[in-house]
Amino acid sequence: MFTYHLRPGGTLRGNLRVPGDKSISHRSIMLGSLADGVTRVSGFLEGEDSLATLNAFRAMGVEIEGPDQGQVVIHGVGMHGLKTPNGPLDLGNSGTSMRLLAGLLAGQGLDLVLSGDASLSGRPMCRVTDPLALMGARVEATQAGTAPLHIRPVSGLKAIDYALPVASAQVKSCVLLAGLYAQGETCVTEPAPTRDHTERMLQGFGYEVKKEGSRICVQGGGRLAACDIDVPADISSAAFFLVGASIAPGSDLVLEHVGMNPTRDGIITILRLMGADIEVRNQRNVGGEPVADLRVRHAPLKGIRIPEEQVPLAIDEFPALFVAAACAEGETVLTGAEELRVKESDRIQVMADGLQALGVDARPTPDGMVIRGGRLHGGEVDSHGDHRIAMSLAMAALRSDGDIRISDCANVNTSFPDFVGTAARAGLDIGVAHE
């Protein structure tokens, strides 16, 4: 167990590069393992979630060198070269690993089990097992529809045309990856745009992806060709510092080489609507992904009604945005974000509890939150083992008038292994106690 201790005040200044994008790190291992040839990855996120994916493919017979300072070399085994592991694949806390692997492995003819920690074992998996069943897969969950998932071999999968009930990049990716092994053309229609890293990376590996409006299709039976991947800095990890520098007077911070995928940039749009001063510099394209440097300076924020069309584009960043709302003048209203209740924690309730403990008027609703900005005082809050909750509440100390103590922070290592050191170098007064 780790507890964060934060002293109030401070400013964020200088230049920093946050760790590599978790979504892209996961997918680089998955597709690199199934490609023909050797894939070289730089900027790989050496967090527990990404390493869970890496270790799963090692357990299925893929030779992977590294990671060594973000460098990974993957010796691909081809589309049908994976082997049955000796035991269950332990995916720790990583919902991305479990949901994407369920699709990727459903048509491989392997008999295996995907397991995870207590948090992952409480998250809903029917959202992927249901469409996979329509494709002819046998992926068995518990009676509650949760992990562990038992994938049983089938003779083959059939293509489907699937309309997503909710906007979810993980479900979309699961179905598309299963479609690589299906007979015919598998299509997914999204109710709203979600992150498109799977589609971009499939094309980077030479696999054709058709997109017409909100409909994405892949033809089964193709092959992947190895390539080099440069993983940009994760905008979800940059989000804490975008908020921190926005709320702390005197801050002037540059975040380098941040992934600016248009399906992920809702955090910037929403903060700017609140009055944030964010400058996008040095825009460029790296391996099919847009990248830029972000300069953020303190600015007075105002409460807004968050546009629902921005919700899927910032779904992982709302814990940080809730802190921005707590420091804004007036009321911020979020609706259409019920997905937040089935993340690593119930992020609506847990953030409401945390902000209330710091003196903030935060009222949870079934699909969002209503937050009235005001003074923050010190206090003790529980992150409930959720990495994004812990890092978001840490930034609240920049505007609090007393010490903040955040418990159960060990899972920060899933996405940001050196968060404490990085935040301290930027100007946050943070310490750690082991319990």
Q: β-strands 2-6, 430-434: how paired?
A: antiparallel
3-state secondary structure of 280: strand
Please, are residues 218 and 209 in contact by the beta-carbon 8 Å criterion?
Answer: yes
Q: Which of 316, 382, 386, 408 is catalytic?
A: 316
3-state secondary structure of 29: helix
421 class by beta-carbon count within 10 Å (0-12 exposed, 13-18 middle, 19+ buried): exposed
165 class by beta-carbon count within 10 Å (0-12 exposed, 13-18 middle, 19+ buried): exposed
Closest-CA residue to 9 (of 300, 428, 435): 428
CA atoms within 13 A on the CB side of 300: 4
**Amino acid of residue 190:** E
**Is 361 tagged catalytic?**
no
Kindly report whether the peptide bond that precedes residue 67 is cis, defined as omega within 30 degrees of 0. Answer: yes
3-state secondary structure of 346: coil
Where helices occur in 341-432 by DSSP H, the ranges are 347-357, 387-396, 419-426
Please, are residues 166 and 339 in contact by the beta-carbon 8 Å criterion?
Answer: yes
Kindly report whether the peptide bond that precedes residue 148 is cis, defined as omega within 30 degrees of 0. Answer: yes
Which residues are tagged catalytic?
316
